[in-house]
Structure 1
Amino acid sequence: MSIVDGNPNVDTTVFYNASNENNLLYPDKFHQWQTRNNFKSYRQIGRFSDNEIAEHLPVDKDKTVVLIGGPDKMGSHWIKALKQMGIERSQIYYEKFSW
């Protein structure tokens, strides 16, 4: 969240999922960010499929940076999937956390 706040001029897309509605945190912050022309977010209950993510990746992947935060198993999955989608490992940053 601090990266999105601190970089208002950077094109940003956020994929945010939770197991239930109560776990989709910071609705006011997402609403505020949505007013920016260079911000998109996809929020949903349940996991995103690999295809859902792949559809929204930029064509020019060379300048793409991916930040992942979540449980170890999720991080491992997305690192592998993103590499298969053409994102270099050096462009992927992962922060492990769990509730």
Structure 2
Amino acid sequence: MAILSNPFVMEVPRKLTDRELANAIRQDLVGELEAIHEYDAHILATDNKDAIKVLSDIRDEEREHMGELLELLERLCPDEKGLHDEGREEVRELLGDKKGK
């Protein structure tokens, strides 16, 4: 029996705390990165223009999901947003580029 056919597979015994939800979102980010990587591999493995067009669109939607999940994570963990911003600034400084400020 397929797991999706079981309506109780997603039942959880309790609601997640914000900390637990933040960790779950980090795992979701990993899933999005894996999907992006796989779609890129499929795109590189074919010359079929229709497939490349569709797969590129799907890949880019996964990239949008990354932004949505990061925004949610940063709202759940404001200190994390500060660390992300510090990392972005370090790259700008290393590259002598203040773009994006």
Q: Which band: TM-score by shorter chain? A: under 0.3
More strand by share: 1
TM-score normalised by L of structure 1:
0.25
Higher gyration radius (CA): 2
TM-score normalised by L of structure 2:
0.25
